[in-house]
Structure 1
Amino acid sequence: MSAIRTVLGDIRPEELGTCDAHDHLFMSTPRLPGQELDDPEAAAAELRAFGDLGGRSVAQWTPFGMGRRAEALARVSRSTGVNVIAATGLHQAANYDAGLLGRVWERLEELFIGELTRGLRPGDDPDGPLLPARAGMIKVAGGFHGLDEHARHVMTAAARAHHATGAPIGVHHELGTAALDVLDLLCGKLRVPADRIILGHLNRSPDLRVHRRLAESGAFLAFDGPSRANHATDWRLFDALASLVDAGHAGQLLLGGDTTTAAARAATGGGPGMPFLLSGLRPRLEEELGDGLAEQILVANPARAFAVEWR
């Protein structure tokens, strides 16, 4: 039986409800100094604001070693009543201390599988005590218009972890690029089924022809950045969605907020943050694509994208 793995335990796909398919409650990186998402109260406030608008679930894509505050994820989920899907995996090398990468480099497959099946590791310690919460997805990252050695090594470990567990793989695409390269590696050489892959940040490179080629593979396509004002997602999003719907790919579309800095939060920063997905985008989805398609993109599609026949 398929299930979606949340930090409070497995749930049935029909229990997922309206879902923010890509966001962050906790995150830190040297690339965004001073903008860490590290306050549990602020995270709970943001999650509660999303829940007040009808949001029922959030996929939290922060992977291992990037301040995901694994010990706090279950707490904020329980206090707000919003399901949280946690991620294992690894981001680009620039987000990590070289010493940490050295400690995990040859054991990524073991780390990923352990966090999916046994429990998350706290902090940046790959040998730390296991927490009760488990990951429900694997996060990896490509580079700008290509894949470097780091990306290929991490994706190889992620593919092996997928084959061992069934977990979906979510991919950060730098400025929306290199998605075709990612599919060539993951689906081609590494034999990951395309419908177990979520291609993120496609809004940042609004090339409708590439989007259609990606959709033809069967992968899920995530448009996930409305919390970033004036990015391409803000004024080209509906053209991209309509193009894919017209081509018959409505069942592969996902939306998320990708709130990556404290300043982007609605509850404690300048916003619009996580709630904007429902307060700003959902009404426009319903107006431009219809209530049925809005429901499909926000409810039915993520339920399929994150549901796993766990092994």
Structure 2
Amino acid sequence: MTAVRTVLGDVRPEELGVVDAHDHLFLRSPHLPGQELNDASTARAELEAFRGAGGSAVVQWTPYGMGRRAADLPLLSRETGVHVVAATGLHQAVHYDDATLAGLRGTLADVFVAELTQGIGTSGVRAGFIKVAGGFHALDAHTRWTMSAAAEAHRATGAAVAVHLELGTGALDVLDLLCGELGVSPERVILGHLNRSPDLVVHREAASTGCYLAFDGPSRAHHATDWRMPEAVRALADAGFGARILIGGDTTTAAARSVNGGPGMPCLLRRVRPRLEVALGAELVVRILTDNPARAFARPSSKEDR
């Protein structure tokens, strides 16, 4: 038996329904001044708009120390009727001050495990997966530290490991580290931002390991590659990897929210979904939105919390 850990507790994977597999309700970073997602009322409105477009679950990839507002997530989920899955993990070093990183030395894996099994801070909200990040075509010491901790937490809890690929690069290096050196099963790894580097050969090689490939957007910053996403997804499907594809909205700024005039979460279902149906057919798109994320974010329900 498997279960997906939402902010309201564990649910059967099939209960998730239509999933935005990569997005943000709250997000804050000193590296992105003035671009914070920090307003609960607009987060609620965005979830309601997503629900109105036919969505029923959102996976928030905001990790430790980046303004997750975990205590607010259960109420938002109840009020809107949308399942929310929260993340533990750590982003690139640029998103943290030196004191924060220094305070995590020697304890990072324990922090991840605690947030997965006991709760984030004093909120009582348990994370459902681990989010870490690679660098641009490289894996630096910070990446190796965070991924080593993620692998340890994965072994303790069974939680999936999701990876921010900087501009979509470094997928194979990440897999070499996580799955080769650190022993994480590829089926428990989710690679994010593949649309930002539409290298179809790399996509197929990564998918052949058994990992999940997440395509997210649309994005003003990455619009130049957004239009190639259906082509990249179709190439994977044609190669037999339709069951490894995830899609999400990845809303990272207030201006990108639909309630503020941007595409936001509803665009995933209003505009991206019909475009993918042209490329892939409606039946496969249904599976990408429902079955694939249900498997990707599930973990053994019998796994004992440490």
Is residue 187–residue 194 contact of structure 1 (8 Å, CA) maintained in 2? Answer: yes
1:279-298 map, 5 Å: 279-298=270-289
Q: Is the 8 A contact 2:231 2:279 kept in 1?
A: no
Distance 1:143 1:288 in 2: 31
1:161 matched residue in structure 2: 153
DSSP 3-state at the match of 2:274: helix
Between the aligned residues of both structures, percent identity stands at 62
Q: TM-score, normalised by structure 1?
A: 0.95
Report what 2:56 is aligned to. Answer: 56
**CA–CA distance in 1 between the matches of 2:262 and 2:224?**
17
Residues 95-174 of structure 1 mapped to structure 2, 5 A cutoff: 95-121=95-121, 130-174=122-166
Cα distance in 2 between the residues matched to 1:92 and 1:301: 27
Q: CA deviation at 1:230?
A: 5.5
Task: Spell out, residue by residue over 1:191-219, the C-alpha distance to the aligned partner (whole angstroms, 9 max, x if none).
Answer: 00001000000100000011011011100
Structure 2 unmatched runs, 5+: none
CA drift of 1:234 comes to: 2.2
Structure 1: gaps spanning 5 or more residues? 122-129
Contact kept? 1:205, 1:232, Cα under 8 Å = no
Number of residue pairs matched? Answer: 302
User: What letter matches 2:254 in structure 1?
Assistant: A
Alpha-carbon contact 2:130-2:159 (below 8 Å) kept: yes
Distance in 1 (CA, whole Å) between partners of 2:221 and 2:118 is: 38
Give the secondary-structure state (helix, strand or coil) at the position aligned to 1:243: helix
- The one-letter amino acid paired with 1:6 is T
- What's the CA shift string for 1:248-307, capped at 9, x where partnerless? 00000000011011111111x231011100000111222221111110111110010011
User: 1:276 maps to what in 2?
Assistant: 267
Matching residue of 2:13: 13
Which 4+ residue blocks in structure 1 deviate beyond 6 angstroms? none
CA-based RMSD of the aligned residues comes to 1.0
Mark the CA change 1:158 to 1:88 in structure 2 (over 3 Å): closer, same or farther: same
Contact 2:116 2:126 (C-alpha < 8 Å) held by counterparts? yes
Q: Is residue 215 of structure 1 aligned with residue 196 of structure 2?
A: no
Per the TM alignment, residue 233 of structure 1 is displaced from its structure 2 partner at its CA by 4.1
CA positional deviation for 1:186: 0.4
Aligned residue for 2:93? 93
